[in-house]
Amino acid sequence: MAEIVILESSEEASALAAQRILHHIRAKPGHNLGVATGATPLSLYRQMASYAREYGIRIDGVTAFALDEYLGLAPGSPHSFHHALLEHFVKVMGLDPARLRVPNGVAGASGEVGAEFEQEIRGAGGIDCQILGIGSNGHIGFNEPGSSLASRTRVTMLAEETRRDNSSHFSCLKDVPRYSISQGIGTILEARHLVLLAFGSRKARAVAAALEGPVTASCPGSAIQLHPSVTVFLDRDSSRSLSGLDYYTQSWQNQPESPSWRFAR
Ligand code: GLP
């Protein structure tokens, strides 16, 4: 079962997630970190930078691999995930921008882009820790409901719900791309550790389906149940629909020892 950590606020949950990930990075400084975009990990990235400074953890050996990219947007486009990761991850963490790898969204809808990105991940020795958010319809990366649980990095079509959710970053809905290049669910499951974050009541339904529902392509997030090393960080609102809520909260609060990855402050 996944380790499920539920805190009152997203800030508190992000602080613990930052510690969890830095614990992995400290154990392997030449770390391959899978990074997600979206609003969810913004505080996580800020807090990772601050804990790394405070505890003298070297992060300059980290190579970051993006989960996904919109198809048809140039890396310099302010709407591209490449741009978002440079701004919100690379700059914040003080990393060399050359250490960020993003699938090439301008190369067109060829199968080769996915295969090349997979090759890059494999050539680097695989992803050590993959950070994940979850869409309100249960998507991870841009693997929408119906995606094969064995899928690899490829072109995917965005669900209308996802386009609407992401439209606030664009001037209007019609500007939101219809396709992406996304790591597949099979690719994501090959990372050595998964850290999933979800905040806010809008995510409650997807969180319950992913953690407690059947493992099904109808909820791509449910695939994390197949992975042996998963930590999930939730706030109060995103955890509301979990039927095991009391159990998860109590087992987190009443564990005999603090987990090894928690930092003393
Ligand atoms: C996106 C991304 C996902 C992200 C999810 C949630 O569109 N492709 O990687 O996890 O939607 O986004 P947010 O964190 O903004 O809710």
Express each pLDDT in 190-239 by its tens digit.
999 999 999 999 999 999 999 999 999 999 999 999 999 999 999 999 99
Q: What separation in Å is there between the alpha carbon of 68 and the centre of ligand 1?
A: 10
| pLDDT for the residue 90 | 98
- The Cα–Cα gap between 227 and 230 comes to 7
Cα-Cα-Cα-Cα dihedral sign, residues 209, 130, 239, 140? negative
Residue closest by Cα to atom 1 of ligand 1: 38
Are the beta carbons of 123 and 83 closer than 8 angstroms? no
Residue closest by Cα to atom 10 of ligand 1: 133
Pocket residue to mutate for ligand 1, from 44, 132, 139, most atoms within 8 A of Cβ:
139
Give the position, in ligand 1's atom list, of the atom nearest the Cα of 158. 7
Q: How confident is the model at residue 257 (pLDDT cuts 50, 70, 90)?
A: confident
Quick: pLDDT tens for 33-81. 999 999 999 999 999 999 999 999 999 999 999 999 999 888 789 999 9
Q: What separation in Å is there between the alpha carbon of 245 and the centre of ligand 1?
A: 24
Q: Which residues have CB under 6 Å of ligand 1?
A: 36-40, 67-68, 133-135, 141-142, 162, 166
Residue closest by Cα to atom 4 of ligand 1: 133
Per-residue pLDDT at 109 exceeds 70 = no
Q: What separation in Å is there between the alpha carbon of 256 and the centre of ligand 1?
A: 35
Tokens of 219: 């909820």
Q: What separation in Å is there between the alpha carbon of 255 and the centre of ligand 1?
A: 31
Q: What separation in Å is there between the alpha carbon of 38 and the centre of ligand 1?
A: 4
Cα–Cα nearest to 231, from 13, 67, 65, 64: 13
Are the beta carbons of 92 and 126 closer than 8 angstroms? no
